[in-house]
Structure 1
Amino acid sequence: MASVQVLTATSVPTYTTSLRVEEPLVKYRQIHPTFGAEATADFSQITQDLVDEIKRGLAKYGVLVFRKTGLDDARHVEMSHLFGDLDDIAPFVNGLGQKNRLSSDYLFDVGNVNPDNTVMQPGGMRDLLLRCNYHFHADSAFNPRRAGVSLLLAHELPPEELGGDTEFADTRSAYESLSPERKEEINDWVVMNSQLQCRRNANTDENGVINPLLATDEFDPMKHRFGKHKLPRIAAHAHHVQGMDVDEGQKKLKELLEYVDNPKFTFRVKWQDPGDLVVWDNTCVLHRAIPGGYAGKYKRDLRRTTVHDMGPQAWGLNEVGATWRSGLD
C-alpha cells in the first residue's frame, strides 16, 4: 500500500514596514472667515525651516496666534532675526532721552510698564503717546522703510476680564470688496504718513481740541518729514494724500479706515498666558490695542520685534537706505 504524503505549506515570513509620517512644523486652525489662524508649533528648537513655514502661514492667513510658546527675550530676538532685517528702538530711546528697560534694542516696549517697573498711570506723557496704539495702524508706516512682520510676545498680563485684547483688520479682503471704480480712484494715491499724526488724533477731544502737551511744533506733522507709501496700505498714521487738498485727503482716508473697521474684516485676539505670541504681516493687516479696566492698576507687559519689509515695495517712494525716523528728523 502506497504511503500518503501530507504536504505542509512552507511558512511565509511577514514583514512590517514602518512608514514614518512627519508632523508638520506648524498646524493651523482658521479663526475668521477671511484671515487669521490659531497655530501650534514646537519652539524648543528655533530653525530656519520653522521660520520659513511661519512665513508661508502668514502669506495665507496674515495673522498667526501661538499659545504658551515658552519664548523669552533672547529667543524671541533670535527667532526674529531669521525673518529678516530688524528694526530697533535705539533712535527713539536716544533721540527722546528715554530709557529702555528691556534687554535688547530690538525689543519695542509696547506695554504699560515704566522703566522703574511700576504700572504706567493714565494722563502722563508716555500714556498719551501710546494712545496711538488704540487706533488701527501698521507698524513703521511712518518711516522711510516700512515694516514687514511683527512678533508680539506676552510677558505679564492683567486679569482677562479687565480687557487688553488686540484687534486685527484684514485689508486684503477689504480692498477686494471695493468697487472697481473705488479701486481705480485710490490705486495711485501716495499717502504721507507721520507717527505724530496718529499721536495727535489719539489725544484730540470731540471738539477737535488737541491736548496742550501735544499742541506744539515738536508734535506737528507738517514740521517733520513724512514716510511716503502707496495705498492700499492705509493706517492711522496717514496724514494726507500727496497732490490732494489736505482736508479733502484726510476725509477720504478716514472713510477708508472706517470701511475697514467692520466685523466682516476684523477679529480680536484675547491674550491668555505669558508666552502667547502673535505674528502678523503689516503689509496686509492692521492692528490696534483695546483699552480696558486694567489701566493704571495691572501690568500688561507686551514686547514686540519688528522685521523690516524685505520686499521690493519696502521703501515706498522714499530714498532707499534712508535712516531718519518719524518725529526725530
Structure 2
Amino acid sequence: MIESKALSPSLGVEFTGVTDPLDDAFVQRCVEALKWRGVLLVRGLHLDDDQQLAFSRRIGEVVSLRGQEIFPISLDPAKSRSAKYLKGAFFWHLDGTSDDVPIRATTLTARHVATVGGGTEFASTYAAYENLPEKERERYENLRVVHRFEASQRLVTPHPTEEDLAAWRTQPSHEMALVWRRRDGRRSLVTGTTADHVVGMDPQESRALLDDLLDWTTHERFRYAHDWAVGDLVVWDNTGILHRALPYDENSERLLHRTTVVGDEAFA
C-alpha cells in the first residue's frame, strides 16, 4: 500500500510502499503532488535509466539537454560536459529563466552520493508569495525583472575572463514579471540568482530588493533540504520551486541522473 507524508509544512510529499512507479494511480498522485506540494520523494527506488525515462514520460514530454535525455550531474568533467558551470547550482535558482517557457519538472536519481555535503535544497515560491504581507504584494505586483545566466555565474567567478563572458552571454537575457500570475489563478515569485535587475529601478535599490526577496523566499519555513542516499528519486515542479545543491568536494564521486520534462506555460 502506498502511503504519503509531508516533507515540510510548506512543500513536498514523500511516498512509501511504491513497487510499480508506472502504476496509473501512483502516477496520478505524483502529478497532483507536483502541482500542490512542488516536490516528491521516493527513497531507495533504484530506477535505472530506462525506468527513469519511462516514469518521466508519464509526467510529460522529456526534452534532451545537450543531446542527452539522461543528463549526468557531476563536478567531474569526465562524467558531465557541463561540469564547469554546475557550481552555479550551489546558489538558489529556477532552471530555464532564459527561455520564454521554463521546463515543467525535473527528476533526479542518485547513483553515487557525496561523503560530506552534496544535498539539495528546495524552496516554494508559491508559499513565499502567499505569506507576503499585503503591502509587499502591492509593491511587487507590477515589477519586471531581467534574468541573466551571467548573474548566477558571477557568484562563482566574480572576475571573469573575456572567454567566460562570451560563453555566458550565449544565453539570452529575459525580462519577466516578478509576480507570475498563473493560468490556474495561483501566483508565485520568479526570483533566484539569475535575477539581474528590476527594470527601471536604481541599481542599488534593485539589488537590495532582489536580495531581500530571495532571503524571504528561501526562509526556513518555505524550504526542504534533501540528504541523498543511493537510489533516491526526487521530482520537483521547476516553475514554482527554487533549488540549489549544497557544496561538496570537487573530487567526490557524487553522480545524479537527471531528466527534464517540457513546460507548457510561458513566463508572464
**Is the shorter-chain TM-score for this pair beyond 0.5, marking a shared fold?**
yes
Q: 1:108 aligns with which of 66, 71, 92?
A: 71
> Which residue in 1 is equivalent to 2:139?
185
Q: Secondary structure in 2 aligned to 1:235? A: coil
Q: CA deviation at 1:43?
A: 5.0
Q: CA deviation at 1:67?
A: 0.8
Task: Tell me: higher relative CO, structure 1 or 2? Use CA pairs within 8 A at least 6 residues apart.
Answer: 2
Mark the CA change 1:149 to 1:45 in structure 2 (over 3 Å): closer, same or farther.
closer
Question: Would you say how many aligned residue pairs link Structure 1 and Structure 2?
Answer: 258
Q: Secondary structure in 2 aligned to 1:147? A: coil
Mark the CA change 1:195 to 1:88 in structure 2 (over 3 Å): closer, same or farther.
farther
Q: Is the 8 A contact 1:58 1:281 kept in 2?
A: yes
Structure 1 regions of 5+ residues with no counterpart? 1-22, 94-104, 205-209, 318-329
> Which residue in 2 is equivalent to 1:147?
103
> Which residue in 2 is equivalent to 1:99?
none
Q: CA deviation at 1:151?
A: 0.8
> Which residue in 2 is equivalent to 1:284?
240
Which whole-Å CA distance do the structure 2 matches of 1:248 and 1:37 have between them?
37
Among the aligned pairs, what percent are the same residue?
26
Q: Give CA deviations for 1:81-136 in whole Å, capped at 9, x if unaligned.
A: 2212333213xx6xxxxxxxxxxx12232222333x5xx8xxxx955421110111
Which whole-Å CA distance do the structure 2 matches of 1:271 and 1:183 have between them?
35
Q: Is the 8 A contact 1:141 1:227 kept in 2?
A: yes
Q: CA deviation at 1:198?
A: 0.9
Q: Compare 66-75 and 234-243 and name the one that shifted more.
A: 234-243
* Greater Cα radius of gyration, structure 1 or 2: 1
Q: CA deviation at 1:227?
A: 2.8
Structure 2 regions of 5+ residues with no counterpart? 179-188
Mark the CA change 1:219 to 1:110 in structure 2 (over 3 Å): closer, same or farther.
same
Q: 1:36 aligns with which of 3, 6, 12?
A: 12
Q: Is the 8 A contact 1:43 1:70 kept in 2?
A: no
Which whole-Å CA distance do the structure 1 matches of 2:221 and 2:83 have between them?
31
Q: 2:174 aligns with which of 201, 216, 227?
A: 227
For 1:123-272, what aligned pairs fall within 5 Å after superposition? 127-159=83-115, 162-204=116-158, 210-212=159-161, 216-220=165-169, 225-231=172-178, 232-272=189-229
Q: Is the 8 A contact 1:173 1:265 kept in 2?
A: yes
Q: Secondary structure in 2 aligned to 1:150? A: strand
Q: Is the 8 A contact 1:148 1:309 kept in 2?
A: yes
Q: Give CA deviations for 1:236-281 in whole Å, capped at 9, x if unaligned.
A: 11122234344433332121112223222222101122x2011111
> Which residue in 2 is equivalent to 1:207?
none
Q: Is the 8 A contact 2:73 2:83 kept in 1?
A: no
Which whole-Å CA distance do the structure 1 matches of 2:199 and 2:168 have between them?
20
Mark the CA change 1:107 to 1:194 in structure 2 (over 3 Å): closer, same or farther.
farther
Which whole-Å CA distance do the structure 1 matches of 2:239 and 2:118 have between them?
24
> Which residue in 1 is equivalent to 2:58?
82
Which whole-Å CA distance do the structure 1 matches of 2:174 and 2:61 have between them?
19
Which whole-Å CA distance do the structure 1 matches of 2:244 and 2:65 have between them?
20
Q: Is the 8 A contact 1:169 1:286 kept in 2?
A: yes
- TM-score, normalised via structure 2 length: 0.85
Which whole-Å CA distance do the structure 1 matches of 2:154 and 2:7 have between them?
33
Q: CA deviation at 1:41?
A: 4.9
Q: CA deviation at 1:142?
A: 2.1
Q: Is the 8 A contact 1:164 1:290 kept in 2?
A: yes
Match for 1:52: what amino acid?
Q
Which whole-Å CA distance do the structure 2 matches of 1:149 and 1:190 have between them?
24
Mark the CA change 1:46 to 1:224 in structure 2 (over 3 Å): closer, same or farther.
closer
Q: CA deviation at 1:153?
A: 1.0
Q: Is the 8 A contact 1:169 1:261 kept in 2?
A: yes
